[in-house]
Homo-oligomer: A and B are copies of this chain.
Amino acid sequence: MDVAILLYEGLTALDAIGPYETLTLLPGARVKFVARERGAKRTDSGALALVADYSFAEVTSPDVIVVPGSSNSTRSAMEDAATIQWLRAAHETSRWTTSVCSGALVLAAAGLLKGLKATTHWAAMPFLAAFGAEAVQERVVRQGKIVTAAGVSAGLDMALYLAGEIAGAEAAQIIQLIMEYDPQPPFDAGSIGKASPSVVESARHEMARLSASGAKAS
């Protein structure tokens, strides 16, 4: 079973790495990092690069597709003709097509979310409707073979859900234990509904700054 994780310049690393770490433990899965061209892709902070071992031409019919988001470069992925073309074609034969964070907007730009419920990062939520999707504020949303996840860290929950659907609950639980995914965040501010108004306002401000500034470093 081929799992294709899309890489592009400016992606958010954890959007891709949460599902990677989970799905690479799935029995029989072969994870492939795929990009328009092979090679190192810089993440949105500028401080890291992830290497794509495969080009689009080399992975045309993956079983699972994972599309990560970005704090500042989602639009460039949405507007890249080769990316949209690869995604549409790969989706035709995929068993699962998934996104994390603003990666949902890339699915939307490819026309895959029309008339469907979907989720994304809370700050990207207003943009889903423009593509005919129904924005839903949930951690993981499934519509047929399409599964969208909320922001950044939600890719872990999405991939664990997917592992359960693909290989069964016991196999998914083995993966969860190997990753010791027993989350105990020291604060409880991970969603709009749980964070204080001042935290929400500051986070909105910071996300606007990140989005406007492009890559933070280098």
A interface with B by C-beta (< 8 Å): 12-14, 17-18, 20-21, 24-25, 30-33, 40, 45, 47-51, 53, 101, 121-122, 139-140, 150-154, 156-157, 160-161, 164, 169-170, 172-174, 176-187, 189-192, 194-196, 198-200, 202-203, 206-207, 216-217
Whether B199 lies near A170 (C-beta < 8 A) is yes
29 pairs from A and B in contact (CB 8 Å cutoff): A13-B21, A14-B179, A30-B47, A30-B217, A33-B48, A40-B49, A48-B53, A49-B53, A140-B186, A150-B182, A152-B178, A152-B180, A153-B180, A156-B183, A157-B184, A157-B185, A157-B186, A160-B185, A173-B195, A173-B199, A174-B199, A176-B187, A176-B190, A177-B195, A178-B203, A178-B207, A179-B190, A180-B191, A183-B185
Residues of B within 8 A of A49 (CB): 40, 50-51, 53
Nearest-CB residue, chain B, relative to A42: B51
**A181-B185 CB under 8 A given contacts A30-B217, A47-B20:** yes
**A156 CB to nearest chain B CB (Å):** 7
The 9 lowest CB-CB distance pairs between A and B, nearest first, are A182-B190, A151-B180, A173-B189, A183-B183, A49-B51, A14-B21, A182-B191, A17-B17, A177-B203
**Given A173-B199, A174-B203, 15 extra CB contacts under 8 A:** A14-B21, A20-B45, A24-B45, A30-B47, A33-B47, A48-B53, A50-B51, A140-B186, A152-B180, A153-B181, A156-B185, A176-B195, A177-B192, A178-B203, A181-B183
Closest to A154 in B: B180
Task: Report Cα–Cα, A214/B208, bound state, in Å.
Answer: 43
